[in-house]
């Protein structure tokens, strides 16, 4: 593999990384031993970045056990901030939670440091200076090597960089954003902002949350649609795009999965695309396409199907800021006048 710099951290990582959400036994692979074999297969193939989160069930524990004896071969990334249980205090980006969350992750992973510690979702209720101050202490103590964000808007990326510079705090060195042929919104501002500040980018959802595997087709009965848990699996707009991409991939002599991942890593602002296999077969299929490179003609034809910067539809797991969720934040109060 041709390794790439992770922003300006000095860390070199593979162009595809291993996302570990599907190693959680409660909703992913129920066999930790099998997950360990998948992790080892990925490492043997040259993948050197493994990404998990405290909100992914017991994924951190599964990953930690699998990395025994191979810790130095891995850039180990995890995330904090999303709810881990029903306690409202066990989430967010406050100093109080960060210092607890990192100790919990270190214990579950069975390591003495985390290479990349990421804020899983923006926390509008916490001042970014509070978050960066706590993360700075973690870096200085040696528990964390670098810090990053996930699903931060471009404005949040810029604000955090300015605060870090003014206050002498650690900078967010990476951003983990959603990006695929079906969701190209990151091309508008997030990827350019990350490039502007020298940040590395990790991409989640390069397969469009399963839509770009080719297993969801119009009129087809398949295991993904039978699950019926995610709204995008029945989104006709996304299915229509898939129907246009399938023959394009076939014409190029590529599986749709290889076309999808190659599209993502072709962007100059992308460092590494996260692969989230649940089985060894899925991993082997994705590894077979690691060296695929798309020519300009093929990329132009993809642009003709989904325009640059466009999203076919919203993702199920995307961050939605309070201004979109709370109508009162979008409506100026109107004084009620009593009738004469």
The catalytic residue positions are 56
Q: Are 102 and 64 in contact (CB under 8 A)?
A: no
Buried b (16+ CB within 10 A) or exposed e, 95-108: eebbeebbeebbeb
Task: Identify the three-state secondary structure at position 178.
Answer: strand
* Token pair belonging to 266: 């072709």
State the first-to-last Cα distance of the chain, in angstroms, to the nearest integer.
78
Sign of the Cα pseudo-torsion (208, 176, 24, 255, in order): positive
Question: What are the φ/ψ torsions at residue 285 (nearest 5 degrees)?
Answer: -60, -45
In angstroms, the CA 143 to CA 134 distance is 12
Q: Are 65 and 38 in contact (CB under 8 A)?
A: no
Instruction: Determine whether 223 is exposed, middle or buried from the number of CB atoms within 10 Å of its CB (0-12, 13-18, 19+).
Output: exposed
* Token pair belonging to 200: 């590395």
Beta bridge partners of 114: 144
Residue given tokens 């992973």 in the structure block:
109
| DSSP assignment string, 269-294 | T--EEEE--SSHHHHHHHHTTTT---
């Amino acid at each position: 593999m041709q390794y790439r710099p992770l922003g300006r951290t000095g860390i070199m990582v593979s162009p595809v990384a291993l996302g570990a959400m599907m190693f959680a036994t409660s909703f992913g692979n129920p066999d930790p031993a099998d997950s360990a074999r998948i992790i080892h297969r990925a490492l043997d193939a040259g993948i050197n970045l493994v990404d998990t989160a405290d909100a992914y069930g017991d994924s951190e524990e599964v990953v930690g056990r699998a990395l025994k004896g191979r810790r130095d071969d891995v850039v180990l990334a995890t995330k904090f901030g999303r709810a881990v249980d029903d306690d409202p205090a066990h989430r967010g980006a406050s100093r109080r939670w960060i210092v607890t969350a990192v100790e919990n992750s270190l214990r579950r992973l069975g390591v003495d440091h985390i290479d990349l510690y990421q804020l899983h979702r923006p926390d509008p209720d916490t001042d970014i200076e509070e978050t960066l101050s706590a993360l700075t202490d973690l870096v200085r103590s040696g528990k964390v090597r670098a810090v990053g964000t996930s699903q931060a808007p471009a404005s949040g990326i810029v604000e955090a960089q300015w605060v870090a510079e003014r206050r002498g705090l650690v900078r967010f060195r990476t951003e983990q954003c959603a990006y695929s042929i079906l969701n190209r919104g990151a091309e508008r501002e997030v990827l350019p902002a990350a490039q502007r500040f020298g940040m590395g980018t990790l991409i989640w959802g390069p397969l469009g949350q399963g839509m770009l595997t080719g297993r969801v087709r119009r009129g087809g009965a398949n295991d993904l649609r039978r699950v019926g848990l995610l709204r995008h699996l029945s989104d006709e707009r996304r299915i229509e795009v898939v129907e246009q991409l399938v023959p394009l991939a076939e014409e190029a002599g590529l599986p749709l999965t290889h076309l999808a991942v190659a599209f993502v890593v072709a962007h100059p602002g992308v460092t590494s695309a996260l692969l989230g296999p649940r089985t060894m077969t899925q991993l082997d299929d994705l590894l077979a396409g690691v060296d695929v490179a798309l020519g300009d003609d093929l990329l132009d034809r993809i642009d003709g199907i989904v325009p640059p910067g466009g999203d076919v539809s919203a993702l199920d797991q995307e961050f939605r800021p309070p201004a979109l969720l709370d109508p009162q934040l979008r409506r100026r109060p109107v004084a009620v006048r009593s009738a004469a």
